[in-house]
């Protein structure tokens, strides 16, 4: 599965801004501005799964210190080139499942469009780790891909597509997938990269996500659903 996640990023030579823009939509931009405001100019922030640095440079321009972590060598190379003038950025190559940080390190974690790579059976451990490395009251931003859409009809259509892909890989191809996990075909033409092939994702829903965050010690301050993503602003609960 890891190979299916990494390959599109290892072969890309196009910055995400050229495909999606700096922000996916106005909601991501609003959450970003709120994150900056709440973190403050002296904060130490983790840009988790930073990719090619789509948000890293903007974070560094408004935040005291930024640690940008990713597992893809190619993504980190592109991010370092983009952020070459950012003297307050440290780049770390590591897996988000094995982050080399001490307890209570960060004032905030920015985690944009990568929760879909967390398998359902690893979510609790992952979120507990984020809670551990955040300072008391520390901020966490998540954008979480979902089958849920604003209309019921569109949601059911998306859910049916997820179900078909899950059944194909689980029962026909024999992959040990859990519900919510699937592989979908990613076209190089659609993403403007050199990679065409199957790509791993895992969807969830607002109710499940809310329960997970609460169980892992986070207090949700803002959550909204838009165009296939759940956007969440929360903080490490104190006391």
Higher pLDDT, 128 or 227: 128
What residues does each domain of the chain span?
Answer: 15-148+205-236
Sorted by sequence, the CB contacts under 8 Å of residue 197 that are 6+ apart come out as 4, 7, 8, 185, 186
Question: Could you give the CA distance from residue 210 to residue 105 in angstroms, rounded to a whole number?
Answer: 24
Query: How confident is the model at residue 119, as a pLDDT?
Result: 94
Q: Is the overall model pTM greater than 0.85, yes or no? A: yes
Coil, strand or helix at 26: helix
Higher pLDDT, 61 or 197: 61
Task: Find residue 183's DSSP bridge partners.
Answer: 200
Question: Could you give the CA distance from residue 81 to residue 100 in angstroms, rounded to a whole number?
Answer: 24
Higher pLDDT, 80 or 196: 80
Query: How confident is the model at residue 140, as a pLDDT?
Result: 98
189: exposed, middle or buried (Cβ count in 10 Å: 0-12, 13-18, 19+):
exposed
Which of 13-17, 122-126, 216-220, 222-226 has the weakest average pLDDT? 13-17
CA atoms within 13 A on the CB side of 9: 24
Query: How confident is the model at residue 192, as a pLDDT?
Result: 61
- pLDDT over 90 percentage in the chain: 74
Q: How far does the chain reach from its first CA to its final CA, in angstroms? A: 38
* Overall average pLDDT of the 119-139 stretch: 96
Q: Whose structure tokens read 């507990």?
A: 128
Coil, strand or helix at 82: helix
Which of 34-48, 101-115, 192-206, 220-234 has the weakest average pLDDT? 192-206
Query: How confident is the model at residue 195, as a pLDDT?
Result: 73
Question: Could you give the CA distance from residue 106 to residue 165 in angstroms, rounded to a whole number?
Answer: 38
What is the number of helices (H) and of strands (E) in the chain?
8, 9
For 147-182, how does the pLDDT look when each residue is reduced to its tens digit (9 = 90+)? 999 889 999 999 999 999 999 999 999 988 999 998
Q: Residue 190 pLDDT more than 70? A: no
Q: Residue 17 pLDDT more than 80? A: no
CA atoms within 13 A on the CB side of 162: 23
Query: How confident is the model at residue 191, as a pLDDT?
Result: 59
Mean pLDDT of the chain: 91
Which superfamily does 15-148+205-236 belong to? Vaccinia Virus protein VP39 (3.40.50.150)
How many angstroms from the chain centroid is the CA of residue 201?
11
């Amino acid at each position: 599965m890891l190979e299916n996640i990494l390959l599109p990023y290892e072969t890309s030579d196009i910055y995400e801004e050229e495909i999606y823009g700096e922000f996916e939509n106005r909601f991501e931009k609003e959450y970003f501005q709120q994150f900056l405001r709440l973190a403050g100019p002296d904060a130490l922030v983790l840009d988790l799964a930073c990719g090619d640095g789509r948000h890293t440079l903007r974070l560094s321009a408004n935040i005291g210190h930024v640690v940008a972590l990713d597992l893809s060598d190619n993504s980190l190379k592109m991010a370092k080139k983009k952020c070459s003038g950012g003297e307050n950025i440290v780049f770390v190559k590591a897996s988000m499942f094995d982050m080399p940080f001490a307890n209570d390190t960060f004032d905030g974690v920015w985690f944009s469009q990568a929760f879909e790579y967390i398998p359902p059976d690893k979510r609790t451990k992952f979120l507990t780790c984020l809670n551990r490395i955040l300072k008391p009251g520390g901020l966490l931003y998540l954008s979480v891909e979902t089958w849920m859409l604003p209309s019921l009809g569109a949601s059911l259509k998306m859910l049916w597509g997820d179900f078909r892909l899950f059944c194909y890989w689980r029962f026909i191809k024999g992959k040990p997938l859990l519900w919510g996990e699937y592989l979908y075909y990613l076209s190089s033409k659609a993403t403007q990269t050199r990679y065409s092939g199957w790509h791993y994702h895992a969807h969830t829903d607002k109710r499940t996500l809310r329960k997970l965050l609460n169980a892992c010690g986070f207090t949700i301050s803002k959550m909204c659903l838009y165009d296939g993503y759940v956007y969440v602003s929360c903080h490490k609960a104190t006391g």
